[in-house]
Chains A and B, each alone.
Chain A
Amino acid sequence: MFNKFKPYLIVLISLVSLFFIIIFSSGSEMIVLDPKGPVGAVQKDLIMLSIYYMLGIMVVVLSFFTVILLKYRSSKKSDYKPEMHGSTKLEIIWTLIPVLIVIALSIPNTKALYELSEPPKATAHKDPIVIHATAVDWKWIFSYPEEGIETVNYVNVPEDHPILFKVTAADSMASFWVPQIGGQIYGMPGMVNDLYLQADEPGTYDGRNSNFTGEGMTHQKFDFVAMEEAKYEEWVKDVQAGEPKLTEKTYEKLMLPGTVEEMTFSSTHLSIVDHGKNSEYAFAIREKYGATENSHGADVDAGSAHDGHGSHEVNEGHDSHGNEGGQDDQENHKSHEGHEH
């Protein structure tokens, strides 16, 4: 009795699982496929194009597969040709089709690669704003050289304006990624990679380091805040006027491994060190302070990483990166000082 229904049962279980996966998938936001900027849009179009091709391939192959399996089961006693060993014609066909598909995908891919290596076309008349993004275990430091301001763990940008991120790192190799705005690029000590991004509508987007850099990597996140051009300029002025300068001592403390709150300064670290050229700075500082990333003293570090997580959650509630953020950031800064060990 059971044996008779078993195949149906298995099909049923598979379908039910698939159903749940689809239901829950629709529940989670596929932010990569919902881009809010031209870079992400180029990538999304390419992804969708490839998905259509791949679905086409899957449909064809799986139809053959299903028909063959159903028809040529031994119980069916269908046509049986044990000596059939090949067919040059068929083999040429199924070599050529994949060749064509690869060509068909390579062309838009190459086009997209060249497109992404330049500022977005739609706003080509505007000069890109240059922002240096520097990864330090486990925080992101953003310097605006023209504006002379620096932020930690958040970056404010004007909407509809191309931004040129100059991505680097002070210690580990990190990856700068804002999924909803565009694809990622590595930041490496002693090296600078360029990445053009642009946001089309105001909003706060999740950004993070997606490359494994040790214990605090999970919490190495930042907010990518796009705002109206006027608001952005106002914010820049407020920061220039109201925030403290970045002292060398504060910057040195930032080089120590750990997570910190958001911070804002009215000067940049670019006068202190150029991580794009100097890959030894952070390690020299750590030596000076006697701090190492000791994987051996695991429990202590894991504990502190966890604390960082806790404070991060506090962070989520505090969404005023904008105009009146100065005071809060001051406080954050102080709490950061207290946070060091």
Chain B
Amino acid sequence: MFDFIKDNLILNDPLILGANISIVFTVIGIVATLTYFKKWKWLWNDWITSVDHKKIGIMYILAALIMLFRGGVDALLMRAQLTVPNNEFLTSHHYNEIFTTHGTIMILFMAMPFLLGLMNVVVPLQIGARDVAFPYLNNLSFWSFMFGAILFNMSFVFGGSPDAGWTNYAPLAIEGSPGPGINYYLLGLQISGIGTLLTGINFVVTIIKMRAPGITLLRMPMFTWTTLITAFIIVFAFPILTVTLALMTFDRLFGTHFFTLTDGGNPMLWSNLFWLWGHPEVYIVILPAFGIFSEIIATFARKTLFGYKSMIISLAAISLLSFVVWVHHFFTMGGSAALNSVFSITTMAIAIPTGIKIFNWLGTLYKGRIEFTVAMMWSVAFIPTFLIGGVTGVMLGMAAADFQYHNNYFLVAHFHYTLIAGVVFACFAGLVYWYPKMFGLKMNERIGKWAFWFFSIGFNVCFLPQFVLGFAGMPRRVYTYGPEDGWTALNVISSVGAFGMGVGFMIIVYNVYYSYRYGKREETGDAWDGRTLEWATSSAIPPHYNFAHVPEVKSVDAFYYMKQEGEVPSRENVEYKPIHMPSNAGTPFIMSGFFFVAGFGLVFELWWMAILALIGIFGCMAFRSLSSHKQDEGYYVSVEEIEKTENPNKREA
């Protein structure tokens, strides 16, 4: 046992050793603080076992911010290495690990949970529901994501990180990578994928079945629409990932021949299956981002969303097209001219619905009263930057030209222009916009603007030169280059920009602290003069049951019209009825813990551990089945408690 730990704990790399030590100190610090303030029980009862969608959402976002930090440090290390030619800051091996974890973490453990977090907080409120359809499952979703993320992140201090790129292509990931790294990738993603799939099912059912009276499908806020479509994509795309990861796990652990070079296996099958999931995955993260921008732009242009129906049609079109473009990720694999031109056309066709959306946002801004709050600035900045990402996407979609862009920095710049300008801007915008809903206070606007300018200018300075580097022939994933390549100047600029983005992120973190310390607490639920139902709650942070009376909705922009028509439900002299709520659950946490142990056992091929943990997982499932009737009974919030929550000042007065 001791030998096992000694063999796998990485102590010979100063960077990782430093990380090791800081992790140990952080854990000790957290444990000590929790013990000192006697907060363990609070942590367990109020957070870990909570089924409240708002709290789960906050936990998702917190986890995502930590992962953004980790992925961001990876990015800065890469930029540091590439700043000057023939740099010896990182070895090739270490650089490979870092770009692999950077990509995987940013997509799967940062962008996805951030957006799932915002969906969790906002969507049930937007449709006037008390919680999601399956609150128990929601808790399980979060914890299996979390334990999957922990398993994946453990790799860099224990056993070594995966180093075959986030796309993890065979044969490199099978024949070319012994050791536990790739196993960590396969199992970490597998476990968190379970959580994502369950979330997808949960939100499909929630949105279809649990809308408040009057919210027809065509009265749903745009963010709810994007969530619904995203949830459908998840339901149909994530099983592909589950199978794909399982197949490679079998290849690596049990000697099967799916993607192997020997005995009839086919490495190209991995590329196909991976991108069959991978391309829809891109839209799983970008569509909710579109939803967030739609909400914010409508709110701060003080106008209803332009072209609501064409927005929905284009969403549906994008989601369908997302399943038929996967071949564009490997035009260079030797497909025939006919095949490549068909996939070029489907790829470029995605620009049509996306273009419609861009014009609709412009239409929303047109003849509005635009207020440049921080949330709005992120959303407005999204339009031109994402446009660059979009048009370069069309260029990449042309297969004949792609032979020159493929695998070089033009591609790298393109997808960062879509994923950062699209997703990361949306995450920041959504965080600022819904911050008062989560924490009862606004983030400081002045500091927020500093963060915005640092990050957005830094972003362009970082990635604009990379388009040019692509034309200069710099391939992606190289850990260094020579001075004779002529790439130095642009790489220096790019690194400066990356540093600016880092500063922007630190300012956002500081803003969280500053606002907590000095921010003015919101007194109403309507922090921004909002248009949708989440702003109609009785207090800044909605009570755990969300609405004492389920609101009735007569149009899109439900809350805006309530305010216009003077129909905002009054809180004076209202009769309340007891509200039924689901109870907290501890089993999902324990079950996800078993998933983690089983994953760890498989990573190191410790069969006994994996089998014991699998028994534990099935035990938890059986326990859930046997006890679900008690769990589902939930409890009732009493009328007194509701009255106290709804009118806190009444008694004082």
Q: Which residues of A pack against B, CB within 8 Å?
A: 10, 13-14, 17-18, 20-21, 24-25, 27-33, 40, 42-43, 46-47, 50-51, 54, 57-58, 61-62, 64-65, 68-69, 72-74, 78-87, 90-91, 94-95, 97-99, 101-102, 105-106, 109-110, 112-117, 137, 171-173, 175, 177, 179-180, 182-186, 188-191, 193-194, 206, 208, 210-218, 279-280, 283, 292-296, 298-299, 301-303, 305-306, 309, 313, 316
Pairwise interchain contact B337-A186, C-beta atoms closer than 8 A: no
Interface band, chain B: 35 or more
A215 to B181, CA, bound (A): 14
Question: How far apart sit A326 and B473, CA to CA, in the bound complex (Å)?
Answer: 31
B370 touches A43 (CB 8 A): no
Tell whether, in the assembled complex, residue A184 and residue B406 are in contact, meaning their CB atoms are under 8 Å apart. yes
Residue of A24, A175, A208 near B465 (CB, 8 A) is: A24
Q: Does chain A have a CB within 8 A of B195?
A: no
Cα(A83)–Cα(B556), bound, Å: 11
Question: What is the distance, in angstroms, from B586's C-beta to the closest C-beta of chain A?
Answer: 38
Given A32-B473, A218-B478, the answer on whether A298 and B334 have CB atoms closer than 8 Å is no
A24 and B171 form a contact (CB under 8 A): no
Q: In whole angstroms, how far apart are the Cα atoms of A50 and B333 in the complex?
A: 23
Which residue from chain A places its CB closest to the CB of B464 in the assembled complex?
A: A21
Would B176 and A98 count as touching, CB distance under 8 A? no
Beta-carbon contact of A102 and B348 below 8 Å: yes
Contact B337 A69 (CB under 8 A): no
Cβ contacts B175-189/A at 8 Å (1 or 0 each)? 111110100000000
Contact check, A189 vs B94: say whether CB atoms are below 8 A apart.
no
- Across the interface, which residues of B come within 8 angstroms of A31, CB to CB? 471-473
Whether A85 pairs with B308 at a CB distance below 8 angstroms is: yes
- Tell me the nearest residue of chain B to A206, going by C-beta: B473
Instruction: Tell me the interface secondary structure of chain A in the complex.
Output: helix
Q: Given the complex, which residues of B lie within 8 Å of A61, measured CB to CB?
A: 358-359, 362, 383-384, 387
Give the 9 A-B residue pairs with the shortest CB-CB distance, closest first.
Answer: A183-B403, A112-B400, A193-B334, A302-B91, A54-B391, A30-B471, A24-B489, A179-B473, A210-B475
Could you tell me if B395 and A47 are in contact, using CB atoms closer than 8 angstroms? Answer: yes
Taken together as a complex, chains A and B put the C-alpha atoms of A177 and B404 apart, in Å, by 8
Query: Is residue B460 within 8 Å, beta carbon to beta carbon, of the partner chain?
Result: yes
Partner of A58, one of B179, B355, B388: B388
Q: Which residue of A lies closest to B392 (CB)?
A: A54
The minimal Cβ–Cβ distance linking A183 to chain B, given in whole angstroms, is 2
The answer on a CB contact under 8 Å between A188 and B465 is no
| Chain A residues closer than 8 Å to B367, beta-carbon distance | 72, 78-81, 84
B489 contact set on A, CB distance < 8 A: 24, 27-28
Tell me which residues across on chain B come within 8 A of A95, comparing CB atoms. 310, 352, 355-356
Which residues of the other chain, B, contact A171 by a CB distance below 8 angstroms? 171, 175-176, 261
What mask results when residues 242 to 270 of chain B are scored 1 for a CB within 8 Å of chain A, else 0? 00000000000000000001100001100
CB neighbours (8 Å) of B365 from chain A are: 68-69, 72
Q: Tell me the bound Cα distance from A299 to B358 in angstroms.
A: 49
| Contact, CB under 8 Å: A68 / B341 | no
Interface assignment of B307: CB less than 8 Å from any CB of chain A: yes
User: Are B175 and A14 in contact, with the CB atoms below 8 A?
Assistant: no
CB distance from A22 to the nearest CB of B (A): 9
B329-358 Cβ-contact flags toward A at 8 Å (1 or 0) = 010111011001100110011011001101
Q: Are A211 and B407 in contact (CB under 8 A)?
A: yes
Contacts of B404 in A (CB 8 A): 32, 40, 43, 47, 179, 182-184
Give B303-334 interface residues, CB cut-off 8 Å to A.
303-310, 330, 332-334
Please tell me which one of the listed residues A62, A91, A113, A188 contacts residue B340 in the complex, with CB atoms under 8 A apart. A113
A-B contacts, 23 listed (Cβ < 8 Å): A10-B457, A21-B461, A24-B490, A28-B472, A30-B468, A32-B473, A61-B362, A61-B383, A65-B384, A82-B303, A85-B304, A98-B355, A106-B348, A117-B336, A172-B171, A183-B332, A193-B334, A212-B96, A218-B480, A280-B262, A295-B178, A298-B93, A299-B12
Contact call A33/B471, Cβ cutoff below 8 A: yes
Q: CA–CA, A216 to B88, complex, Å?
A: 15
Q: Does B210 contact A (CB under 8 A)?
A: no
| Interface SS of B by simple majority | helix
Q: In the complex, what residues of A have CB within 8 A of residue B391's CB?
A: 54, 57-58
Binary CB contact string for chain B from 364 to 385 against chain A (1 if under 8 A, 0 otherwise): 0111111110000000100110
Chain A nearest Cβ from B122, distance in angstroms: 22
B337 touches A72 (CB 8 A): no
Q: Is the Cβ of B362 less than 8 Å from the Cβ of A54?
A: no
Residues of A within 8 A of B128 (CB): none
Whether A91 contacts B178 by the Cβ 8 Å rule is no
Are A110 and B171 neighbours in the complex by a CB distance under 8 Å? no
Contact partners of B360 in chain A: CB under 8 A: 91
Which residues on A sit within 8 Å (CB–CB) of B310? 86, 91, 95
In contact, B362 and A64 (Cβ under 8 angstroms): yes
Picked from B92, B345, B477, the residue with its CB within 8 Å of the CB of A102 is B345
In the complex, which residues of chain A have a beta carbon less than 8 angstroms from the beta carbon of B336?
117
Given the interface pairs A69-B365, A90-B363, the reply to whether A20 lies near B493 with Cβ below 8 Å is yes
Among residues of A, the one whose C-beta sits closest to the C-beta of B407 is A210
Shortest CB distance B258–A (Å): 14
Complex CA gap A99/B356 in Å reads 11
A302 surroundings in chain B (CB, below 8 A): 91-94
Question: Are the CB atoms of B179 and A102 closer together than 8 Å?
Answer: no
Flag whether B137 is at the interface (Cβ < 8 A): no
Given contacts A116-B403, A214-B172, list 11 more A-B pairs with CB under 8 A. A40-B404, A61-B362, A74-B369, A80-B367, A91-B356, A109-B398, A113-B340, A175-B407, A190-B261, A295-B93, A301-B93
With A54-B395, A173-B172 in contact, is A106–B345 under 8 Å at CB?
Answer: yes
**Are B472 and A24 interface neighbours, CB within 8 A?**
no
Q: Are B169's CB and A173's CB within 8 A? A: yes
Please determine whether B401 and A17 come into contact, CB atoms closer than 8 angstroms. Answer: no
The verdict on B435 contacting chain A, using a C-beta distance below 8 Å, is no
Q: How far apart are the CA atoms of A73 and B376 in the complex, in Å?
A: 12
**Judging by beta carbons under 8 Å apart, are B334 and A191 in contact?**
yes
In the bound complex, CA of A40 to CA of B301 (Å):
47
CA distance A21 to B459 in the complex (A): 13
Residue from A46, A186, A190 within 8 A of B400 (CB atoms): A46
The answer to whether A86 touches B171, judged by C-beta atoms less than 8 angstroms apart, is no
| Cα separation A69 to B370 with both chains bound (whole Å) | 8
Cα of A87 to Cα of B332 in the assembled complex, Å: 42
Contacts of B305 in A (CB 8 A): 85
Interface positions of B from 220 to 262, Cβ below 8 Å from A: 261-262
Q: Is B293 an interface residue (CB 8 A)?
A: no
| B304/A83 in contact, CB under 8 A | yes
Q: Point out the residues of chain B lying under 8 angstroms from A10, CB to CB.
A: 453, 457
Residues of A within 8 A of B519 (CB): none
State whether the Cβ of B486 lies closer than 8 Å to any Cβ in chain A. yes
Task: State whether B465 touches A21 (Cβ < 8 A).
Answer: yes
**Is B440's CB within 8 Å of the partner chain A?**
no
**Residues in B neighbouring A69, C-beta threshold 8 A:** 365, 370, 380
Distance (Å) between the CB of A40 and the closest chain B CB? 8
Least CB separation from B355: chain A residue: A98
A30 and B408 alpha carbons, distance in the complex (Å)? 13
Tell me which residues across on chain A come within 8 A of B457, comparing CB atoms.
10, 13-14, 17
The answer to whether the Cβ of B533 comes within 8 Å of any Cβ in the partner chain is: no
- Return the chain A residue nearest B366 by Cβ: A68
Among B181, B356, B475, contact of A208 (Cβ-Cβ < 8 Å): B475
Known contacts A190-B261, A299-B91; is-contact A283 B163 (Cβ 8 Å): no
B380 to A298, Cβ gap below 8 A? no
In the complex, which residues of chain A have a beta carbon less than 8 angstroms from the beta carbon of B308? 85-86
The answer on a CB contact under 8 Å between A296 and B179 is yes
The answer to whether B394 touches A50 (Cβ under 8 A) is yes
Residues on A with beta carbons closer than 8 Å to the beta carbon of B309: 86
Contacts of B403 in A (CB 8 A): 43, 116, 182-185
Task: Determine if B399 is an interface residue (Cβ-Cβ < 8 Å).
Answer: yes
A33 CB to closest chain B CB (Å) equals 6
Residues on A with beta carbons closer than 8 Å to the beta carbon of B304: 82-85
B575 within 8 A of A: no
Contact A102 to B351, CB < 8 A, known contacts A216-B92, A294-B179: yes
Q: State the CA gap A49–B395 with chains docked (Å).
A: 10
> Which of B12, B304, B305, B308 is most buried by chain A, counting CB atoms within 10 A of its CB?
B304
